[in-house]
Structure 1
Amino acid sequence: MADHIAGDPRTRDRIPTVVVDGVHITYTVNGAKSAPGRGAATAALSRLLSRRRDPDGGGRKVHAVKGVSFTAYKGEAIGLIGSNGSGKSTLLKAIAGLQPTAKGRVYTHGQPSLLGVNAALMGDLTGERNVILGGLAMGMTREEVRERYEEIVEFSGINEKDDFISLPMRTYSSGMGARLRFSIAAAKNHDVLLIDEALATGDAKFQRRSQERIAELREQAGTVFLVSHSNGAITQTCDRALWLESGTLRMDGPAAEVVAAYEAFTRKK
């Protein structure tokens, strides 16, 4: 963490937007399995009775994040990398205020906005209605949504071949839905924008547009966090990276250096 420690002259005059201080995150995974042939209602009743016998639900405790600390500053784009299950998405949820910490604290400037590939839009509503509702949920006024509607749809690229924006979201592919979610979120400036895997979807053209938009958000004094399994997306989009492994922060520094260290680590496994 040499490049971002307290007192470093390169960060002394910069404005912190997120401070993660010794954060531990635990949660319980219900490991109960239903017997063969049992219906959903029977399985749910079994879990309920199990919880009455065991208040903890008989589940397995997972220590997902272990003592992570760092400070993020205005204008930074920070990539989170690491193996599956290393705690990246869980940490993003904690920064967004959606996941409680077992120990330690998260301090943020302004309201962080979490954009995940699985962010809930309404499948039975059209893309058009979801743009409106999504924009309002991101804190835009109705007038702002109207002004930016065409830009959002064009950015997503979902209407390039057919009029998909007038169809229910449930008819979209996962990639189309993810592109529309990113486009809605990116239409608004954010103090802190948290992106979980959105750039892994779409073609090279959309990924290029996404990277350009993230650069604009940074220039407008925002902070962007990006979780991605694409090391290329991290090095092209971010100037700094955090490497999480088994819930611990292994390395924090320039994106290219952290990605190189992580790739060397994975080759040895």
Structure 2
Amino acid sequence: MAEQSAGKSAARPQAAREVPRGAERTAEHAAERPAEREGPATGPRPVSPPGVPTVVVDGLHVVYRIYGAGTGHGNATAALRRILLRQGAPSVHLVHAVKGVTFTAYRGEAIGIIGSNGSGKSTLLKAIAGLLPPDRGRVYTDGQPSLLGVNAALMNDLTGATNVILGGLAMGMSQEEVHERYQGIVDFSGINEKDDFVSLPMRTYSSGMAARLRFSIAAAKNHDVLMIDEALATGDRAFQRRSEERIRELRKEAGTVFLVSHNNTSIRDTCDRVLWLEKGELLMDGPTDEVIKAYEAHPGGS
């Protein structure tokens, strides 16, 4: 497993026998889950016993530092003015976005992350992906985490077709793999259903079309750990169904999927486990139905 520790964005190998704090507790909790749950045929797959850990989050804290308004921090002119006037450094406001979160994710799981706005869901994904350094605690990953929308960044001045090729290459596909999967990516996105939009520059796309193409590019590759932030809220119901089915396929191919969404229906249809965050703290970690029912009964739950 690779590790992202406080103040270091680069990953380093984890000791072979090191087990982070909380991993045993989380594994025991997962082992207590029932082998399967009753539900609709289109719902989540039966929960399997925990297998190979792919992500271990151990006492994670993420803190944003916001410099006071009007201080001009980062502006050369304002900095020179402070030096000449012998002013002190600008005031710093700390935002504790993630507070001591601990959990273990296993290969083959699809995990939903829910919570009200500003609860730290997207921050948690960025920390797992190695895009935000922990202030305290550690993140261990087995394989390369891929955050949807980062690995498949699109360029507005290029056509959709060119973005499909560049996005696939950026995710590590070979040219042969990109060409083999090109038509499937375009068909999956549905951007050509009404016209030949794939030949037009991305700046002519609606935000929904761009999001669908971004998801289609990212989902074309098998990921060790795939993290999706609100992707299923974009597009019509037909596209959402295709997206949910693709996530199930990724799980069968031995990956781990994290899904952040305010759409509880998508979470129920896609995930068999849910993490509930509020004000940066992990309030609940358990089976989907159980956690979502508790969340919906909570003031502010939706």
What TM-score does the superposition give when structure 2 sets the normalisation length?
0.79
Aligned to 1:109: 142
Return the alpha-carbon distance in structure 2 between the equivalents of residues 224 and 128 of structure 1: 26
Tell me the matched-pair count: 260
Aligned to 2:101: 68
Equivalent position to 1:149, from 164, 182, 186: 182
Q: Verify: 1:254 aligned to 2:287, yes or no.
A: yes
Q: Verify: 1:25 aligned to 2:46, yes or no.
A: no
Aligned to 1:138: 171
Return the alpha-carbon distance in structure 1 between the equivalents of residues 81 and 265 of structure 2: 46
Equivalent position to 1:6, from 6, 21, 27: 27
Aligned to 1:195: 228
2:298 aligned counterpart, secondary structure? helix
2:69 aligned counterpart, secondary structure? coil
Aligned to 1:177: 210
Give 2:199's aligned amino acid: S
State the 1:121 CA deviation: 1.2
Aligned to 2:272: 239
Alignment RMSD (CA, Å): 2.7
Return the alpha-carbon distance in structure 2 between the equivalents of residues 6 and 166 of structure 1: 49
Q: Verify: 1:265 aligned to 2:298, yes or no.
A: yes
Return the alpha-carbon distance in structure 2 between the equivalents of residues 172 and 268 of structure 1: 33
Gaps of 5+ in 2: 1-21, 33-47
1:122 aligned counterpart, secondary structure? coil
Cα displacement string for residues 151-185 of structure 1 (whole angstroms, at most 9, x for unaligned residues): 00000000000111111111111110100000001
Cα displacement string for residues 120-175 of structure 1 (whole angstroms, at most 9, x for unaligned residues): 31111111111011001111111100000000000000000011111111111111
Q: 8 Å contact 2:116–2:300 — kept in the other structure? A: no
Q: 8 Å contact 2:146–2:227 — kept in the other structure? A: yes
What does 1:49-128 correspond to in 2, within 5 Å?
55=89, 57-116=90-149, 120-128=153-161
Q: 8 Å contact 1:197–1:227 — kept in the other structure? A: yes
Gaps of 5+ in 1: 35-40
State the 1:46 CA deviation: 5.9
Return the alpha-carbon distance in structure 1 between the equivalents of residues 179 and 152 of structure 2: 22
Give 2:27's aligned amino acid: A
Cα displacement string for residues 28-62 of structure 1 (whole angstroms, at most 9, x for unaligned residues): 2344259xxxxxx9x9556655887555x534211
Q: Give the number of the structure whose residues are more often helix, by fraction.
A: 1
Per the alignment, do residues 124 and 268 of structure 1 end up closer, same or farther by CA in structure 2, a change over 3 Å counting?
A: closer
State the 1:7 CA deviation: 3.6
Return the alpha-carbon distance in structure 2 between the equivalents of residues 217 and 105 of structure 1: 26
Give 2:223's aligned amino acid: H
Return the alpha-carbon distance in structure 1 between the equivalents of residues 228 and 198 of structure 2: 23
2:172 aligned counterpart, secondary structure? coil
State the 1:81 CA deviation: 0.3
Cα displacement string for residues 198-237 of structure 1 (whole angstroms, at most 9, x for unaligned residues): 1010000000000000000000100000000111111111
Aligned to 1:37: none
